[in-house]
Amino acid sequence: MSWGFETDPGYRKVLDWAEEFVTEEVEPVDQVITHAYDLADPLRRKLIPRLQDQVRAQGLWATHLGPELGGQGYGQLQLALLNEILGRTHSGPIVFGCQAPDSGNTEILAHYGTPELKERYLEPLIQNEIVSCYAMTEPQGGSNPVEFRTTARLDGDEWVINGEKWFGSNARFASFYIVMAVTDPEAEPHRRLSMFIVPADTPGLSIVRNSGVWGHDYEEGTHAYTRWEDVRIPRDHILGGVGQGFEVAQTRLGGGRIHHAMRTVGLVRRSLDMMLSRAVSRTARGRRLGDQQLVQEMIADSWIELEQFRLLVLRTAWRIDRYNDYKKVITDIAAVKAAMPKVLQNVAGRAVQLHGSLGISKELPLGKWLSESAHMGLVDGATELHKLSIARQLLKGVEPEPGLFPSYHVPALRAKAEQKFARELAEVAAHGTSEE
């Protein structure tokens, strides 16, 4: 039997190095660059690659990947502990080579790309010489595959893609897209779609506009509304078989969702740390905020929610490593995904309240994190859908009760117990407790 909550001392040293490196080197970079994904930004080019070299020298580059792809094959549990540290930063994931959506796109290419596609796209993606976009959601139908209208049809040796995609993150920085399109409209829902890789400069592919989101004050947003008009790609640019798009998507989404959750632990913890600091530094009516009982309740609730969430994330990561099959951990991943926005909303929200007007101002990142809790309720699928999935899994195979009243009905349980202990009950009724 093994059951423990301790980090092995060797890996603890790794985490201690990462903690110091992120505090001293990565967090300052966040203060001066706008988009860690904008490879053309001259300041970014000066600051980020040299940090990436230090991470490589420590053997911490893209640790989620197996050694055959240049990573450490650390597995999800070790990655979870590392991601808790990176999660509080914007640049951390890219400095350590494990940023979304590239990490998920890497998994797809590694599993389904031809050797030529791997050489052309996977190698430079792993090294962060390029970045990528994942285009699945559509403007009229969200991420419900049944509603998708973007089509891909084979014409000689080329696929021809037509349609529109919505909210593709980082499209304007990307060298290629991984896009999901309908290849057989008549097939049953999960066999209608296929996945393709499309170079970003392919004629016919254009960005209609880049949407911005709350909490990010850039002039131009980074979530693209894209139009696909007779976009032609070679026949071998399909990833997986025709009709396998849904399965291919699961390869990336399972990992993507849990990685977001790991990073969220870092944001929630930082929000709580800020609350604690404020609680002992600010006074109201002659007492520290932390001496007020309602504030103490805010602190206690936040710690409980953080620790519950963190254990769920770590256990899910452990189960992914244990089974090496996302299908076996669907419910766990959905649970983590559904819990994530709420815990960040609650804890960052309380931290805003405790910091008063400073909390609401743009001089602290708390308002941004509060907005990000809303992003998390949507990115990689709305919370409601994950809850539906959990309930469906839990209800699967549960048999209805045969009788009018349930088998756990207390009168029935009592009658059964009275039958089981009939002799003892009769003896006690005849002699009372005198035998004792």
Q: What does the binding site for ligand FAD look like in residue numbers (CB under 6 A)?
A: 101, 134-137, 142-143, 167-169, 213, 223, 375, 378-379, 381-382, 384-385
Q: What's the closest the beta carbon of residue 57 comes to ligand FAD, in angstroms? A: 31
Q: Which is nearer to ligand FAD, 56 or 149 (CB)?
A: 149
Closest-approach residue to ligand FAD (CB) = 142
Residue whose CB is less far from ligand FAD, 88 or 260: 260
Q: To the nearest whole angstrom, how small is the minimum distance from the Cβ of residue 60 to ligand FAD? A: 25
Q: How far is the CB of 394 from ligand FAD (least distance, A)?
A: 17
Between 61 and 134, CB nearer to ligand FAD = 134
Q: How far is the CB of 383 from ligand FAD (least distance, A)?
A: 7
DSSP 8-state secondary structure symbol assigned to residue 400 = P
Place of tokens 């009769």: 426
Looking at beta carbons only, is 211 or 296 nearer to ligand FAD? 211
Three-class secondary structure of residue 136 per DSSP:
coil
Q: Give exposure, 320-332, as e/b (b: 16+ Cβ within 10 Å).
A: bbeeeebeebbbb
Spatial contact of 282 and 276, defined as CB atoms under 8 Å apart: no
What percent of the residues of the chain are helix, what percent strand, and what percent coil, each to the nearest 5? 55, 15, 30
State the minimum distance, in angstroms, from the CB of residue 376 to ligand FAD.
8
Peptide bond into 101 cis (omega under 30): yes
Q: In angstroms, what is the minimal distance from the CB of 217 to ligand FAD?
A: 15
Pick 294 or 395: Cβ nearer ligand FAD: 395
Q: How far is the CB of 273 from ligand FAD (least distance, A)?
A: 25
Rank residues 95 and 180 by Cβ distance to ligand FAD and give the closer one.
180
CA distance 147 to 182: 10
Q: Give 55 or 253: the residue with its C-beta nearer to ligand FAD.
A: 253
Using CA atoms in the order 427, 428, 434, 436, what is the torsion angle rounded to 10 degrees? 90
88 contacts 266 by C-beta, under 8 angstroms: yes
Q: How many CB atoms lie within 10 A of CB 160?
A: 18
Q: How far apart are CA 297 and CA 280, in angstroms?
A: 15
- Cβ neighbours of residue 355 under 8 Å, at least 6 residues apart? 274, 278, 364, 366
Shortest reach from residue 347's CB to ligand FAD, in Å: 19
- Cβ proximity to ligand FAD: between 76 and 105 the closer is 105
For residue 198, count CB atoms less than 10 angstroms from its CB and return exposed for 0-12, middle for 13-18, buried for 19 or more. buried
* Closest listed residue to residue 289, CA positions, set 277, 298, 280: 280
